Amino acid sequence: MVDKTPFETDCDEISDEKERTQCLENSLREQILNRIEKDYEYSGEMYVWFTVDKKGNVSDIATKGYPSAPEFEKDIHKAITELKLTKSTYQKRKVNVRCYTRVLPKVINPKK
């Protein structure tokens, strides 16, 4: 697990790795959903992966929905590119980080 995540969280003080991973996933999910401007009715699961490189740039964004929801996936891509990301470190070295979360609400009601 990285020492410094590429996105802001309140998870740094959690020492248990499983609990910290869950906290990081929830924080990332929340940040993505807060950047989506439309309302969607979606009753499936959406999986999201992307990489943050050593410079804090995002790449390799991938989404997969069950069932498929192309418009929602497009808005997730856009939201990820709008995230305020920074460099990650592991043992004081800059590292690439692969981020993952899943979005599975029955109805998504993002901020207006």
Report whether CATH 3.40.50 matches the domain 17-108: no
Q: What is the pLDDT of residues 35-59, one digit of tens each?
A: 888 877 777 889 999 999 999 999 9
Residue written as token pair 């305020």: 84
Sequence spans of domains, the chain: 17-108
Model pTM greater than 0.85? Answer: no
Q: What is the pLDDT of residues 3-39, one digit of tens each?
A: 778 787 888 788 888 998 899 888 998 889 888 888 7
The values of phi and psi at residue 100, to 5°, are: -145, 140
Using CA of residue 12, residue 16, residue 19, residue 22, what is the dihedral sign? positive
